[in-house]
């Protein structure tokens, strides 16, 4: 039986009644198969699963889609029930921010100003602030985050380590649709033509992976990804396409790496990333 709670008091009571380990999955709702994968991973590894559903106003810029972001609580609850979640915490904004915007925010450091942070100033300040608040309120043993939002995952891991938060952060691989597009709540904004254009994003990343598998060096891997993106259908505008190390530091010469991309399809902004293994230098 999944218990829906809306307030801190209700959450504390529900959390206090859980025995065994607790895993938390933080979402903004509009749940899809990617979220279900997170929920299943949490259910497999923890005795109890707590889901948070909260469209966080702190991480939306003035020109972004906060007001039109989909809110589908009834459908989300059904997904949580099917996945065996014990508690769903769905607060209103005043419940988390009773004084309005907080006076103290979590500073994500230099990495928070790069990639997504450069395109969306202040975004990770808002993300890390709400994540820390929700970790404090839910008190989990583990927290599960998707690798699709790889920069977010990396920053949450850094925050937990640097601030001594007693929780294990578990990354869950990206879930893709049959055509290769990474699952996202924003995919529902795409027109049929926009969806076809959006495939330039995973196409570019897979071109980079293929180049690496063929022995290409870092520069050639990135060039192959850019070439594949440029050869894709019209209607998509690249924001960034970069190759870094697994911690999002400057790109490695050999070994594990991460290829990350973001692009606009009309008014919809999509992100994606893949792991890349660079061949040793000869």
**Which residues are known to be catalytic?**
35
How many Cα atoms sit within 13 Å of 43 on the Cβ side?
16
Structure tokens at 49: 């699963």
b/e per residue 180-199 (b: at least 16 CB within 10 A): ebbbbbbbebbeeebbbbbb
Q: Based on the number of CB atoms within 10 Å of its own CB, is 235 exposed (0-12), middle (13-18) or buried (19 or more)?
A: middle
Nearest to 146 by CA among 158, 138, 154, 135: 154
Q: What is the DSSP letter of 101?
A: S
Pairing relation of β-strands 237-244 and 255-265?
antiparallel
Cα separation, 54 vs 246, whole angstroms: 29
Residue 65's closest CA among 272, 266, 282, 256? 266
Rounded to whole angstroms, how far apart are CA atoms 121 and 126?
A: 10
Enclosing H/E stretch for 241: strand 237-244
Terminal-residue alpha carbon distance, the chain: 58
């Amino acid at each position: 039986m999944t218990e829906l709670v809306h307030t801190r008091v209700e959450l504390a009571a529900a959390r206090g009644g859980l025995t065994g380990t607790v895993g938390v999955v933080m979402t903004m709702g509009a749940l899809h198969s990617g979220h279900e994968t997170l929920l299943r991973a949490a259910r497999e590894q923890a005795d109890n699963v707590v889901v948070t559903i909260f469209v966080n106003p702190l991480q939306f810029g003035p020109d972004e889609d906060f007001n039109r972001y989909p809110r589908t609580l009834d459908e989300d609850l059904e997904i949580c029930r099917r996945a065996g979640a014990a508690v769903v915490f769905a607060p209103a904004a005043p419940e988390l921010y009773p004084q309005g915007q907080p006076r103290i925010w979590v500073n994500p450091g230099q990495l928070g100003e790069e990639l997504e942070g450069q395109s969306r100033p202040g975004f990770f300040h808002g993300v890390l602030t709400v994540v820390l608040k929700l970790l404090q309120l839910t008190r989990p043993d583990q927290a599960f985050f998707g690798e699709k939002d790889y920069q977010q995952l990396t920053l949450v891991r850094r925050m937990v380590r640097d601030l001594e938060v007693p929780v294990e952060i578990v990354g869950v691989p990206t879930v893709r649709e049959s055509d290769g597009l990474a699952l996202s709540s924003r995919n529902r904004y795409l027109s049929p033509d926009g969806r076809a254009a959006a495939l330039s994003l995973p196409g570019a990343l897979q071109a980079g992976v293929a180049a690496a598998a063929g022995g290409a060096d870092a520069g050639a891997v990135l060039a192959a990804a850019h070439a594949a993106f440029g050869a894709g259908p019209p209607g998509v505008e690249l924001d960034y396409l970069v190759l870094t190390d697994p911690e999002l530091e400057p790109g490695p010469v050999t070994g594990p790496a991460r290829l990350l991309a973001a692009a606009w399809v009309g008014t919809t902004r999509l992100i994606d990333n893949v792991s890349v293994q660079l061949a040793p230098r000869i």
